[in-house]
Amino acid sequence: MRTLAAGSKHHPAPARGFTLMELLVVVALIAVATAGVSLSLRDSAESGLERDAERLAALLETGRAQARAQGVPVVWLTSNAGIDFEFAGLPPPGLPRTWLNTTTRAVSGMRVILGPEPLIEPQALALSSTNAPGKNLWVVTDGLRPFRVQSSPDGTGSRP
């Protein structure tokens, strides 16, 4: 038992080590820093291409739905060496006409008729990036199902 009496020879040892809370805070900070570093190391060309491919699949489905709802043919086509695209047949303002990432390209002169019929021809659109040569993503449909993004035109490649 500790006493404060003069001449007491029992001195408590100073506390050593860390509390559990301090250790948990340090581990949490290391986890957050690791996540930040791993996200910053991701290849921006590939992630930009993936974003544009997902966006194009959504835009094609939107154009397809509008063609069916309005009963008019809507055609998606590329121009300017695949830098630009448009949805011909939609009333203004229409749908977006540019890529989110300025390095994304589609095959120039590509055309996809999106309706008004519920079934369309099977399609496979290749997208590439000028920053990642040789890396292609495909936006595909079998004509009945929605457009989706995959790593090969024939459906054998899994989604990136």
107 — pLDDT class (breaks 50, 70, 90)? confident
Q: What is the pTM of this model?
A: 0.70
Q: Containing domain of residue 54, as a range?
A: 44-150
Tell me whether residue 38 is in a domain: no
Lowest mean pLDDT among 35-44, 53-62, 110-119: 35-44
Tell me whether residue 12 is in a domain: no
User: For residues 106 and 138, is the Cβ–Cβ distance under 8 A?
Assistant: no
Tell me whether residue 25 is in a domain: no
CATH code at position 121: 3.55.40.10
Condensed to tens digits (0 to 9), the pLDDT of residues 48-99 reads 889 999 999 999 999 999 999 999 999 999 988 888 899 999 888 889 999 9
Burial of 91 (0-12, 13-18, 19+ CB in 10 A): exposed
Tell me whether residue 145 is in a domain: yes
Tell me whether residue 72 is in a domain: yes
Which positions ≥6 away from 103 have C-beta within 8 Å? Answer: 45, 48, 49, 129, 130, 131
Which positions ≥6 away from 59 have C-beta within 8 Å? Answer: 76, 87, 95, 96
pLDDT recorded at residue 155: 60
Interatomic CA distance for residues 30 and 91, integer angstroms: 52
Number of domains in the chain: 1
Condensed to tens digits (0 to 9), the pLDDT of residues 86-103 reads 999 988 888 999 999 888
